[in-house]
Amino acid sequence: MAQIQVTGLTFSYDGSADEVLKDVTFGIDTDWKLGLIGRNGKGKTTLLNLFMGRYEYRGSIKTAACFDYFPYQVSDSDLTKTAADLLERWKPGIELWQVLIQMNELKMDPECLYRPFETLSYGERTRVMLAVLFAAENEFLLIDEPTNHLDTKARDAVKAYLATKKGFILVSHDRDLLDGVCDHMLILNRSSVEVQAGNFSTWWENKEKKDAFVQAENEKHLKEIGKLKAAADRSSRWAEKNENSKIGFDPVKEHDRSIATRSFIGAKTKKMQARVRSYEQRIDREIAEKEGLLQDIEQVPDLKIEPLRFHKEVLVNAYDLSLRYEGSERELFSGLRFQVKRGDRVVLSGENGCGKSSILKAILQKMNTREKQTDSNLLVSGVLDVASGMTVSYVSQDTSFLSGSLRKYCEANGLNESLFLAVLRQLDLGREQFVKDMEEFSEGQKKKVLLAASLITPAHLYIWDEPLNFIDVFSRMQIEKLILQYQPTMLLVEHDIRFQEKVATKGVRPHYGNVTGVNIS
């Protein structure tokens, strides 16, 4: 066991005035199974890259540990190569037998090592890289969001594998994965860094208790400050009134007063002024104690959505549906039957490549074809009826097309810029990001752009394709609350099991063979 001690770590990217990490200090052990969480843009991936020595920084990182990083870089030219060909570049000096041992633990066919990388599914790519990552000993491993784009089966395989390992940092927003794998948590709060024993649920329970206590303390201080200010104001007015009575008096109305009374009044005024100073000092102490109390409170604002109510009950009807792409004889699935009714929240789940996103594309294609706007190479067999005149709001899983300024994006998509930016602020996108081009955004920040655009678009049906990829835990909970409160009609592809359990009214699992909708709540 070794230790990693980070002291005063400060970093900002070249050309940026924003400090991604500022005066960060913490210590961890290299045999921990450490979960790393924080808001999008807080510097989680940056921290891993600093451990890898990829950037220059201020402060210090002291450790004897060696690091390795997931995911490995795969260029376009690498896609035609096999993982066996890429081993030496990914982890120099590693032996093939060491990787095969890890693949056996991951319950993977060794044949995956000898197939072109482009033919592997996302789940297979992830598990091959993890097998290489863990093949060596005496390394502290940095694992950056391994379950994005993975189906439930692949996520379960990764979770079961990581649960048997130790000596790593895991960056993830998947609450189920963090609970099943981690024994310590490293949290990048708004203004501080926190290390705590336990998994995500343990940390979250402690955070809720701590936040409630801090809120109560803040209220107590505010009340005390209010009382002290009122008393100080009262005493100040008395002192001023008393001081003004020192000189001059009406001998008829104040027949019991003489010029000698002046010194008595002066002493009394001085005493009152001393009392005012005492109140002000106590106010300063109360304010000082209140300072910083709420600095790490996640005050998540409630989001709003304005779903439209469609006049028909059934919005989408699929009966014996089959899909395949032009030029391919292989059907993605066949015999699929499901309906999306008004008020339903249908989640499509299943293995990568089974056709979940293609179902969404087929529905959008059906609508666009009716409006003569687009063509597609997706061939539909069976029945796929989509209600005519319906308005759909779509969130793509792809963010690579986002470029340019937020203002240009609003103009191109006919969005109200003020409302759009207000929703982005509610999703915790900092104002300093508003002046940047979207190419500079993190993947989570880009996804929030798509979600904000969808939220401000009134629609009969919201079609979201893996909306939570790269989205931080706090925003996930925020979106869950929104959906449960406004209950829009939705058709989603999403693999976050906690999200599914909370928001879905019906689940559909397309695969080869006859499939029907399954009620899950």
Q: Are 84 and 177 found together in one domain?
A: yes
Residue whose C-alpha is closest to residue 96's, from 75, 77, 80, 110: 110
pTM, two decimal places: 0.76
Max CA distance (Å), the chain: 114
Give the domain range for residue 147. Answer: 3-190
Number of Cβ within 10 Å of residue 59's Cβ equals 16
Residue whose C-alpha is closest to residue 363's, from 315, 327, 325, 311: 315
Q: Give 104-127 as a DSSP string.
A: HHTT--GGGGGSBGGGS-HHHHHH
Tokens of 121: 């599914």
Distance CA 432, CA 13 (A): 14
Which residues are CB-contacts of 482 (< 8 A; sequence separation ≥ 6)? 302, 303, 304, 305, 455
Residue whose C-alpha is closest to residue 181's, from 172, 193, 194, 191: 172
Q: Are 244 and 116 found together in one domain?
A: no
Distance CA 168, CA 165 (A): 8
Residue 308 lies in a domain: no
Q: Are 88 and 186 found together in one domain?
A: yes
Strands (DSSP E) contained in 299-348 are 314-325, 333-341, 345-348
Residue 198 lies in a domain: no
Q: What does the pLDDT profile of the chain (521 residues) look like in tens digits? A: 689 999 999 998 887 767 889 999 999 999 999 999 998 888 999 999 999 999 999 999 999 999 999 999 999 999 999 999 999 999 999 999 999 999 999 989 999 999 999 998 888 999 999 999 999 988 999 999 999 888 888 889 999 999 999 999 999 999 999 999 999 999 998 778 999 999 999 999 998 888 888 778 777 777 776 776 777 777 777 666 665 555 555 555 555 555 556 666 666 667 777 777 776 777 677 666 666 655 666 666 789 999 999 999 999 999 999 998 888 788 888 899 999 999 999 999 888 778 888 999 999 988 875 544 444 688 899 999 999 999 999 999 889 999 999 999 999 999 999 999 999 999 988 888 899 999 989 889 999 999 999 999 999 999 999 999 889 999 999 999 999 999 999 999 998 999 999 999 988 877 644 444 443 33
Residue 425 lies in a domain: yes
Tokens of 247: 């000189």
| CATH assignment at residue 93 | 3.40.50.300
Which of these three, 290, 322, 350, is where a domain ends?
Answer: 290
Residue 280 lies in a domain: yes
Residue whose C-alpha is closest to residue 228's, from 300, 281, 271, 183: 281
Distance CA 405, CA 426 (A): 19
Q: Give 174-205 as a DSSP string.
A: -HHHHHHH-SEEEEE-SS-EEEEES-HHHHHH
Residue whose C-alpha is closest to residue 311's, from 368, 391, 372, 241: 391
Q: Are 395 and 494 found together in one domain?
A: yes
Helix axes 122-133, 152-163, angle to 10 degrees: 10
Which residues are CB-contacts of 424 (< 8 A; sequence separation ≥ 6)? 406, 433, 434, 448, 449, 452
pLDDT at 256 (0 to 100) = 55
Q: Is the peptide bond before 251 cis (omega within 30 degrees of 0)?
A: no
Q: Are 218 and 359 found together in one domain?
A: no
Residue 54 lies in a domain: yes
Residue 309 lies in a domain: no
Q: Are 176 and 222 found together in one domain?
A: no
Q: Say how many domains are in the chain.
A: 3
Please, are residues 428 and 456 in contact by the beta-carbon 8 Å criterion? no
Q: Is the dihedral of CA 387, 390, 396, 402 positive or negative?
A: positive
Which of these three, 159, 190, 221, is where a domain ends?
Answer: 190
Q: Are 322 and 357 found together in one domain?
A: yes
Q: Are 364 and 505 found together in one domain?
A: yes
Instruction: Tell me how far the alpha carbon of residue 222 is from its chain's centroid.
Output: 32
Distance CA 277, CA 136 (A): 67
Please, are residues 406 and 421 in contact by the beta-carbon 8 Å criterion? yes
Q: Are 394 and 501 found together in one domain?
A: yes
Tokens of 149: 């784009």
Residue 197 lies in a domain: no
pLDDT at 512 (0 to 100) = 46
Distance CA 124, CA 114 (A): 12
Distance CA 446, CA 442 (A): 6
Residue whose C-alpha is closest to residue 158's, from 135, 174, 139: 174
Q: Are 332 and 183 found together in one domain?
A: no
Which of these three, 138, 160, 190, is where a domain ends?
Answer: 190
Q: Are 277 and 386 found together in one domain?
A: no
Q: Are 401 and 441 found together in one domain?
A: yes
Please, are residues 1 and 29 in contact by the beta-carbon 8 Å criterion? yes
Residue 479 lies in a domain: yes
